[in-house]
Amino acid sequence: MIIRLAVASTVEAHYIVVMRQKITIPPEKVSDIPVGNWIDRFLPKYFRPYCRLARLDRPIGTWLLLLPCWWGYALASSSWPEWKIGVLFGLGAVLMRGAGCTLNDLADRHFDAKVERTANRPLANGDISVANGIAFLGLQLLLALCILLQFNTVAIKLGITSLLLVFIYPFMKRFTYWPQFWLGLTFNWGVLLGWAAVRGDLALAPCLLYFAGILWTLGYDTIYAHQDKEDDLFIGVKSSALALGSNTIPWLVAFYAGAIVLIGASAYEVGLSWPFLIALLIGTLHLGWQVKSVDIDHPRDCLLKFKSNRDFGLIILFGIIAAQVL
């Protein structure tokens, strides 16, 4: 406790500790770079670090970026959503998630090199140079732009605007205890983009769903941040997990409850029928299970609960589609 208070007192102290020595963390947390998976088995050696940099072997982040896009375009559809739009959003989510991770690792490469859990990230360990990392970021953004240009003008403008959120996010944890809020702004922008891709405008319903997504992200990423709270104290970065501490559970209830209310309000605004209400009930029970069972002091359990949010997102998506077609 004394060490934690001393380290938490100033950012300067954190930085000195990080720069002078590599931080050793519990073995269960040393798993940031999976080995022996499909990247190692099937890809040429040259491409492996780039795939890891883009987190292609850890798709949960892509799911959490993609699902709000699918929510938005399903909500805007009056029947079965057009599959081509869904595919374009899928490809775009892979590219933009990869670009976001690349940008984040470029910004954090010095911190990552000092923490054992992240020391083997390709930019931190030197497998990819900074110049090549920047080039890879540019390539991903260029390909994402090619996909964005397939949409209407309103969607294109929204997509370009999102870059401001994307480029600011990696630096927020240096200045605020609420980078999870900024992540919510960024990850759920796809709700607005998805709606605009179908309707060519914005309306109250997607805005309500966007704010719901922000609260949802505040919940699940606070859970995720509890994995790294000890490391974050040493490194000198901030998170909602550190801000909330032992009060996390009541705040998770508030975040998730607010998300459910706003999702329901969005559905009401467009007149979704009874199948959505069933999905919303199931989704509510799922979030309740997360809050009731999560152990915020157990990193593996935090990761499990975090990953389960893909299922919540799919439940809401299926509910929207079912209500549109039945």
CB 215 within 8 A of CB 262: yes
Q: How remote is the C-alpha of 287 from its chain's centroid?
A: 17
CA distances from 228 to 18, 173, 175, 217, 225 (A): 15, 13, 17, 17, 6
Note the helical H segments in the chain: 2-8, 11-20, 38-42, 48-53, 60-76, 83-113, 130-148, 153-172, 179-187, 189-199, 204-225, 229-235, 240-244, 248-270, 274-293, 299-307, 309-325
- The DSSP code for 273 is -
| Predicted local distance difference test score (pLDDT) of residue 233 | 86
Start-to-end CA span in the chain (Å): 57
Tokens describing residue 56: 């292609």
Is the separation of the CB atoms in 69 and 193 below 8 Å? yes
Please give the Cα distance from 209 to 266 (Å, whole number): 6
The pLDDT profile of the chain, 326 residues, written as one tens digit per residue, is 433 433 333 333 333 333 333 434 444 454 567 778 889 899 999 999 999 999 999 999 999 999 999 999 999 998 888 899 999 999 999 999 999 999 999 998 987 887 767 888 999 999 999 999 999 999 999 999 999 999 999 999 999 999 999 999 999 999 999 999 999 999 999 999 999 999 999 999 999 999 999 999 999 999 999 988 888 888 888 999 999 999 999 999 999 999 999 999 999 999 999 999 999 999 999 999 999 999 999 999 999 999 999 999 999 999 999 999 98
- Residue 14: per-residue pLDDT: 35
Spatial separation of the C-alpha atoms in residues 323 and 79, rounded to whole Å: 9
Please state, in angstroms and rounded to a whole number, the distance separating the CA atoms of residues 247 and 222. 12
What is the structure's pLDDT at 295? 97
Domain 2-27+58-325, CATH homologous superfamily name and number: UbiA prenyltransferase (1.10.357.140)
| pLDDT number for residue 32 | 67
Please give the Cα distance from 26 to 18 (Å, whole number): 17
Please tell me the predicted confidence (pLDDT) of residue 18. 34
Determine contact, residues 262/211, Cβ cutoff 8 Å: yes
Say how far apart CA 102 and CA 61 lie, in whole Å: 13
Q: How far apart are CA 146 and CA 97, in angstroms?
A: 16
